[in-house]
């Protein structure tokens, strides 16, 4: 059994039976005026920090969210891009997509401004994103890429580069390690799935981001969670 299969089975379980506070650095959902987060969606807030930065979303971007979880950040992105298909949420785990669909239906009941058509749920993973080259303004992922082994992380970053429009952005919130994780912990598939043993150091992560072709880095440390980093990357830019 590969670690990715173990992770898929783990998240299928927590999609069906939510585990509140699952992530090692889980944070309270970003509060926005007129946005009501359903309780079931909040219970499945399996992330650290946030990838939703209001000052960067004024142009109603097309967002590709990788690893939909309970749908919380997909709903938050839709708050800024209120049009059909504006948010594409991708997840390889069927039970998680089903849970997100239920939670988004609840979101529509509790938020008059929200229509479920604003978020399109698709089967897929970070290594083969189900969208065309250069088709999205922003790719976001929260507490997912840190699960990947280093070679797979590079694959995911390269795939992200493929789907971004010129000048598009990758926004991430991932745990990082202050020192390399011991090998025996890295090999523990359950700990890796729980975002506890797959984290790279800051330097290791940044080098893989650069090698994937992503440039013009704007780094923002999350002051509330010292073991996570929010990274906004402007990619595919032409420099003179």
Q: Per residue in 80-95, pLDDT tens?
A: 999 999 999 999 999 9
> Residue ranges per domain, the chain?
3-235
pLDDT top residue among 235 and 103 = 103
What does the pLDDT read at residue 229?
A: 35
CATH class of 3-235: alpha beta
Q: Which residue has the tokens 């669909």?
A: 101
Q: Per residue in 175-215, pLDDT tens?
A: 888 888 999 989 988 888 888 888 898 889 988 988 888 86
pLDDT top residue among 28 and 238 = 28
Tell me how many degrees the CA angle 225-230-234 measures, rounded to the nearest 5: 170
- Return the bridge partners of 123, or none: 91
d(CA 148, CA 128): 14
Is the dihedral angle over the CA atoms 71, 44, 191, 5 positive or is it negative?
negative
Beta strands (DSSP E) in the chain are 63-66, 87-91, 119-123, 136-142, 164-175, 214-221, 228-235
Q: Per residue in 6-31, pLDDT tens?
A: 999 999 998 998 887 676 555 566 78
Task: Tell whether the model's pLDDT for residue 154 goes beyond 90.
Answer: yes
Q: Which two three-digit tokens encode residue 43?
A: 């219970």
User: Pick from 235, 77, 208, 236: which is nearest to 142 by CA?
Assistant: 77
């Amino acid at each position: 059994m590969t670690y990715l299969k173990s992770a898929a089975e783990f998240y299928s379980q927590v999609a069906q039976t939510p585990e509140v506070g699952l992530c090692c650095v889980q944070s309270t959902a970003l509060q926005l005026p007129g946005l009501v987060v359903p309780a079931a969606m909040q219970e499945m807030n399996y992330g650290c920090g946030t990838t939703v930065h209001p000052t960067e979303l004024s142009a109603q971007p097309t967002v590709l969210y990788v690893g939909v979880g309970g749908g919380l950040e997909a709903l938050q992105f839709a708050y800024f891009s209120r049009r059909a298909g504006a948010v594409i949420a991708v997840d390889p785990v069927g039970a998680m997509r089903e849970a997100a669909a239920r939670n988004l239906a609840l979101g529509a009941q509790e938020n008059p401004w929200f229509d479920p058509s604003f978020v399109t749920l698709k089967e897929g993973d970070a290594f083969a994103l189900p969208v065309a080259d250069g088709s999205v303004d922003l790719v976001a992922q929260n507490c997912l890429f840190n699960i990947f082994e280093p070679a797979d992380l590079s694959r995911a970053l390269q795939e992200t580069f493929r789907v971004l429009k010129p000048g598009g952005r990758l926004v991430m919130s991932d745990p990082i390690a202050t020192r390399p994780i011991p090998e025996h912990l890295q090999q523990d598939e359950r700990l890796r799935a729980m975002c506890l043993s797959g984290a790279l150091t800051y330097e290791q992560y940044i080098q893989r981001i650069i090698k994937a072709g992503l440039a013009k880095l704007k780094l923002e440390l999350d002051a509330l969670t010292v073991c996570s980093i929010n990274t906004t990357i402007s990619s595919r830019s032409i420099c003179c």
